[in-house]
Chain A
Amino acid sequence: MAGSYTEWVRTRTEDELLALLAARPDLGTPAPSTLRSLAARAASRTSLDRALGHLDAGTLQVLEALLALSHDGDPVDADRVAAALGAPEAGAAVGRVLDTARTAALVWDEGQGVRPAPGLDEVLGPYPAGLGPARDAAVPTASPDDLPPGARPILDALAWGPPVGVVPPPGTAPRQAVDELVEAGLLVRSDARHVLLPRDVGLALRGGRTHRAPDLAPPRPTGREVPRAGADAESAVAALETVRQVARLITAWDDGPPSVLRAGGLGVRDLRRTAALLETEEATAAFVVELAASAGLVSDDGEAPASYVPTTKADVWEETDDAGRWAWLAAAWRTSRRTPWQVGSRDEKGALRAPLSPELHRPWVPRLRAQVLDVLAAQPGTALDADDVLAVLRWHSPRTVPPEAALAGLLREASLLGVTGAGALSSPGHALAASSPSTEPVAAPDADLARALRAVLPAEVDEVLLQGDLTGIVPGRPSPALARLLDQAADVESRGAATTVRFSTTSVTRALDHGRSGAELLAELSARSPVPVPQALEYLVKDTARRHEAVRVGSATSYVRSADPTALAGLVEDPRLAGLGLVRLAPTVLAAAVPAAELHDVLRDRGLLSGLEGPDGRPLGPVRRTVRLERAAWSRRPAAAVRDTTAEARTALVARLRGTAPSADAAPDGGTPARVSASPGEVPSSTGAAVGQGANQPGDALALLHDALREGRTVLIEMVGGSGTLVRRELKPMRLDGGRLRALDPQREAELTIAVHRIASVEPLD
């Protein structure tokens, strides 16, 4: 066996090392001190696990096949792997997969064929592709064809794995068959109760194949075909509805801000109230609330006690048109790390998860969302449900399958937001999937996204058909002006492609409350109706207006009253009292705009004797107007350090590693480890400076131990002795499991067991 994995890593070029660190960012943090420890780390279980977690089913299959074929780490070429997968024609594709794997140092090569990285066998399990252990080819085996009857079914049962069988009780026919098979060398007794099908036999039984069928391309679920127009229309309806709900939320929270729970988040009662306000169920309300917060439109005001209030951004948002508002929300959703679908479920402590609570923060959400969008975008015009998407994602990363609830939640959000329509990605959804997510909080609508939505919105209609039964129909999407009018003057009965509204005394009263007079309202309605205003509606408006005007309510800060009208004569007209804002309500009552105490004083000064009224003489409390906050959206914490490995950091690291590597390579004995001064057999004196260069990362120490175990080399181990002092021993590791290292001390010819946590550092010796 020429060369070693470590050697291979150490001879990588700068570009190859950069690519490796880019493919497996965890190798760079914390920065390894030497290329050897980088190699050890790359072959360590933790890092391999992490790397395999992101691999798709096809790559895993190729790696399994490679592992199964590569007897004792022998090189295998791509065509053989392809043939073993049952896809001999896919040699080129397998080659590409192997190239990628080589970039990530999951396989390595030397001249012809590739070999699996050491440690891969451990991570992929004892029986890769369901094949039993390999054994020396020298063992003679009988041909599986001349077998006693009853033996063949046993082999067939074990052929496709798992290759472990339970030994039948003695004296039975199957037992006899098993014994004969063991005799013939086709089965191996692993212990008293089990037999194993050796790898070569297994492969022979499978006809040289490692897998029943190649799984090199992602599955394409059939789904349900949805015409683009249908998807777009439904997406437009959903998008408008969500925009409307967010707008409603902002208005409502402006008027009555809900308070923030002590642990953060929105209380159950406030959520229920919000749901009622939005005319929807609580799950949707939670989504709308979270969406508004992600978009930075509402936020915690930071006061004590704290409440949720609209932000200054909401002002900007409210000034944009429907498409722009949607684009803003969609962009915010794209990068949101929130999991609103968990609202209403209980956490480990049994507490209800509340919307807006910090509990709902999950850093993986944007990545999963992007994956879901990619899956949907790959199959345009097809409605995929959560199971379909899961099947595809399971192929993409079989070792880290996303939670089903999250997937269902994300798909539901996508449909609420109109990213999907009828279950398929809509045109605006495609635009969103294609846009590059920004890490900056959204502060303005994305013009491209807005354009995409605008293209699918139904044409604006500026007409309402008024009917004798006091209903009105807008046969399309109402224009903003019409929507405002109908919002005030009528109640919506049905929304969708068309809008049905009903006029009632209550709704007309609302319009009158907004300052329209009855005549103005009728004029506006008739201007917007292609048919004359029905008489019934005219009567409704006129009668309501008449009653509306009959009783009036206004606000005054204080009043002056007197049983004698003459006492009040001339007060209103007096220019000196203009500052009081006096209004004559009746011959005997004047209203004033200043507090009673001030009014009282001014009137005194003018020579009018007056008495103060009221239980405490205090004016009515002023109407509280909540102040909008200048506040960013969710404070975006920097992502975890591992993901933050920027290209520059990697370049610097590679430069540093290679800066030390050449000097090591130049050493006379070739492949001197980091500790240059160390020569075999001699225990160098430990100095503080030297320790810093060693494998003092716990992960690296283990990786180096594994490395040494595999290659049967001796290492220098620094461990904490019984008295708490550091002891250095030269040891040959024998076995590492269960947190214990069994090792041989060649100098003392003794075996010893060390708890791994006592090992301070490991240095290779060669």
Chain B
Amino acid sequence: MPDGPLIVQSDKSILLEVEHPQSGDARRAIAPFAELERAPEHVHTYRLTNLGLWNARAAGHDAEQVVDTLMAYSRYPVPHALLIDVAETMGRYGRLTLAAHPTHGLVLESTDAAVLAEVLKSKRTKGLVGDRIDDTTVAVHPSERGNLKQALVKLGWPAEDLAGYVDGEKHPITLSPTTKPVHPGEEASDWEPRPYQAQAVDGFWHGGSGVVVLPCGAGKTIVGAGAMAKSGTTTLILVTNTVSARQWRDELIRRTSLTEDEIGEYSGARKEIKPVTIATYQVLTTRRKGVYTHLELLDARDWGLVVYDEVHLLPAPIFRMTADLQARRRLGLTATLVREDGREDEVFSLIGPKRYDAPWKDIEAQGYIAPADCVEVRLTLPEHERMVYATAEPEDKYRLAACAPGKNRVVERLVAQHPDDQVLVIGQYIDQLTELAEHLDAPLITGATTVRERQKLFGAFRSGEISRLVVSKVANFSIDLPEASVAIQVSGSFGSRQEEAQRLGRVMRPKQDGRTAHFYAVVARDTVDQDFAAHRQRFLAEQGYAYRIVDAEELDGAK
């Protein structure tokens, strides 16, 4: 096809022209194997990566399909070397399989004796495998199942894990068609999972273990609940923090047959082990005298399913523990596979391949998440502050710029522009936030605020009792504030891209009146603050959220 919507570059990037009449078809066709890298207005960039191609193989696509798709939609002839590379890379997946052997137990099998010989010769697999059974089979210590998979991915020969899972302890869970009120004032209503959530659950269950990628606010908890209902076993849920743990609990009680007595919380505050246990990463990674004190939780029950919330934040020790959990079904939930530390391959090998993915804009177009308007407000610093900034030590520069006093006035003005909205002000530095809270006469939540106090304030914010809330980075993740429609970010943790995405996620739950969400980033002009902001915004700009830039001075004019 000489006039297709795709341009395939030899550096393995694929450009998709959005306005092309076939762009929709092409997007669907390449989505299974190409990672969306950027999705700005006109031309989206996808990339072929080894992991992406292996994910596609795991999902049952073969190299021929990939090659045909590329050739069918490409505007120019596809570079030959790339096609060969695709076929070669995809051919590597599944050449090795982990299987349960009737007499030898867990074994690593290969269709190709040479490949097996190659990986066994490597230093990385030393000590992970047992006796050679024959030319194409080698025994594997069950305890090394995860480590071996990790090593094999590093060697470029990912193994397909067909060894199956333990059934786990049965514990019937069903999704209830009517919500159960959890908070006073809440009313029961009918609901059912959204089509994409149901697809995600099916995709995961079919694949055995793996990761579901959904944007913030798209209802990942429900995917988790759906997976638990499918599994019908005891479940361990790992989440980022206590507030998030409580939200999981509320959501599970609301939408499933589970009762409060069946759900336990295992956190710094409470150590309950129940058929469904929600634990925080923090408590699991707590060490005393070099020993992980809460490891026994992992074996406390015969878990049939392990759910990882926010997979892209999994701390390194959890990866190591996960390596020992390979016999249990694992579900990873995340908004993005991008990790600032680049450990995507460990997610792939230890939790599993990507099983479902839906781009933000698609879900937004279906009306499941609120459309958002992103604005960067650039504040020109006054003369004396610029002088202070220019002469400051490099390590102080970001804090100086991020906490510029001028930002307070900007925030005030922005808040004034949204008198009827629920406004969140998010920042990094406690001093700055304290000052802002005083200015706005709004309550402040930081790491120092007790969980009870936090719950109370979030509850009040949710019910509309208070309409302004100043929060530190504790609110970055998994806090469900459905009615927040305006977020103002005054400072962030340097250039973290996923933090920006998470913060935008705070305001993206669909609003009852279909209102547009607003996300403001206040940035000091000509400083490192601006550079970091540019880096942070990259992820969202690539996801198609174009930032509008407004000069702080213009806010006055607009008023």
Q: Is B7 an interface residue (CB 8 A)?
A: yes
B40 touches A498 (CB 8 A): no
Contact of A498 among B7, B81, B549 (CB under 8 A): B7
B546 touches A534 (CB 8 A): yes
Q: Is A204 an interface residue (CB 8 A)?
A: no
A468 touches B41 (CB 8 A): yes
Give CA–CA (A229, B76) in the complex, Å: 9
B38 touches A230 (CB 8 A): no
Question: What 5 A-B pairs come out closest when comparing CB atoms?
Answer: A468-B546, A422-B80, A496-B9, A469-B541, A467-B40
Known A469-B40, A494-B9, A500-B45: A233·B76 in contact at CB below 8 Å: yes
A475 touches B7 (CB 8 A): yes
Fill in one digit per residue for A337-363: 1 if any B CB lies within 8 Å of its CB, else 0: 000000000000000000000000000
A423 touches B80 (CB 8 A): yes
Known A226-B80, A475-B17, A497-B75: A536·B547 in contact at CB below 8 Å: yes
Known A467-B43, A536-B549: A497·B76 in contact at CB below 8 Å: yes
Number of A-B residue pairs with CB-CB distance less than 8 Å in the complex they form: 90
Give CA–CA (A720, B493) in the complex, Å: 97
Q: What are 13 pairs between A and B in contact, CB < 8 Å? A: A227-B77, A465-B42, A468-B41, A468-B546, A469-B546, A473-B15, A475-B7, A496-B7, A496-B9, A497-B76, A500-B9, A534-B41, A536-B541
**Which residue among B9, B77, B378, B546 has the maximum number of chain A CB atoms within 10 Å of its CB?**
B77
Give CA–CA (A422, B542) in the complex, Å: 33
Q: Which residue of B lies closest to A424 (CB)?
A: B80
Contact of A458 among B17, B76, B548 (CB under 8 A): B76
A495 touches B526 (CB 8 A): no
* Residues 484-506 of A contacting B (Cβ, < 8 Å): 494-498, 500
Q: With a CB–CB cut-off of 8 A, which chain B residues contact A471?
A: 38, 40, 45
CB distance from A758 to the nearest CB of B (A): 62
Q: Is B10 an interface residue (CB 8 A)?
A: yes
CB distance from B402 to the nearest CB of A (A): 18
CB distance from A302 to the nearest CB of B (A): 40
CB distance from B74 to the nearest CB of A (A): 8
A494 touches B77 (CB 8 A): no
Q: Is B13 an interface residue (CB 8 A)?
A: yes
Fill in one digit per residue for B67-78: 1 if any A CB lies within 8 Å of its CB, else 0: 000000001111
Q: How many chain A residues touch the partner (CB < 8 A)?
A: 34
12 more contacts with CB within 8 A, not counting A468-B541, A539-B549, are A227-B77, A465-B42, A494-B13, A497-B7, A497-B75, A498-B7, A498-B15, A500-B15, A500-B45, A536-B546, A536-B547, A543-B525
CB distance from B376 to the nearest CB of A (A): 8
Q: Is A531 an interface residue (CB 8 A)?
A: yes
Q: Is B260 an interface residue (CB 8 A)?
A: no
Give CA–CA (A469, B42) in the complex, Å: 11
Q: Is A82 an interface residue (CB 8 A)?
A: no
* Residues 423-471 of A contacting B (Cβ, < 8 Å): 423, 458, 465, 467-471
Give CA–CA (A525, B245) in the complex, Å: 51
B79 touches A234 (CB 8 A): yes
Give CA–CA (A496, B77) in the complex, Å: 11
Q: Is A547 an interface residue (CB 8 A)?
A: yes
**Which residue among A469, A496, A547 has the maximum number of chain B CB atoms within 10 Å of its CB?**
A469
B11 touches A494 (CB 8 A): yes
Q: Which residue of B lies closest to A224 (CB)?
A: B80
Interface residues on B, range: 20 to 34
* Residues 200-257 of B contacting A (Cβ, < 8 Å): none
CB distance from B64 to the nearest CB of A (A): 16
Known A468-B541, A498-B15, A534-B546: A547·B40 in contact at CB below 8 Å: no
Contact of A234 among B17, B40, B77, B541 (CB under 8 A): B77
**Which residue among B42, B75, B78, B542 has the maximum number of chain A CB atoms within 10 Å of its CB?**
B42
B41 touches A531 (CB 8 A): yes
Contact of B9 among A465, A469, A495, A531 (CB under 8 A): A495
Q: Which residues of B contact A (CB under 8 A)?
A: 7-11, 13, 15, 17, 38, 40-43, 45, 75-81, 378, 525-526, 538, 541-542, 546-549
Q: With a CB–CB cut-off of 8 A, which chain A residues contact B78?
A: 230
Q: Which residues of A contact B (CB under 8 A)?
A: 226-227, 229-230, 232-234, 237, 383, 421-423, 458, 465, 467-471, 473, 475, 494-498, 500, 531, 534-536, 539, 543, 547
Give CA–CA (A227, B77) in the complex, Å: 10
A469 touches B542 (CB 8 A): yes
A469 touches B76 (CB 8 A): no
Q: With a CB–CB cut-off of 8 A, which chain B residues contact A495?
A: 9, 11
Contact of B13 among A229, A237, A467, A500 (CB under 8 A): A500
B77 touches A230 (CB 8 A): yes
A468 touches B547 (CB 8 A): yes
Q: Which residue of A lies closest to B548 (CB)?
A: A535
Q: With a CB–CB cut-off of 8 A, which chain B residues contact A468?
A: 40-41, 541, 546-547
Q: With a CB–CB cut-off of 8 A, which chain A residues contact B541?
A: 468-470, 536
Q: With a CB–CB cut-off of 8 A, which chain A residues contact B549?
A: 535-536, 539
Q: With a CB–CB cut-off of 8 A, which chain B residues contact A229?
A: 77
CB distance from B541 to the nearest CB of A (A): 4
Give CA–CA (A565, B14) in the complex, Å: 63
Give CA–CA (A227, B547) in the complex, Å: 44
Q: With a CB–CB cut-off of 8 A, which chain B residues contact A421?
A: 80
Give CA–CA (A226, B538) in the complex, Å: 40
Q: With a CB–CB cut-off of 8 A, which chain A residues contact B548?
A: 535
B41 touches A467 (CB 8 A): yes
Q: Which residue of A lies closest to B542 (CB)?
A: A469
Give CA–CA (A500, B45) in the complex, Å: 10
Q: Which residue of A lies closest to B78 (CB)?
A: A230
CB distance from A242 to the nearest CB of B (A): 14
B526 touches A547 (CB 8 A): yes
B10 touches A496 (CB 8 A): yes
A230 touches B80 (CB 8 A): yes
A497 touches B9 (CB 8 A): yes
Give CA–CA (A497, B11) in the complex, Å: 11
Contact of A233 among B38, B77, B526, B547 (CB under 8 A): B77
B41 touches A498 (CB 8 A): no
Q: Which residue of B lies closest to A383 (CB)?
A: B80
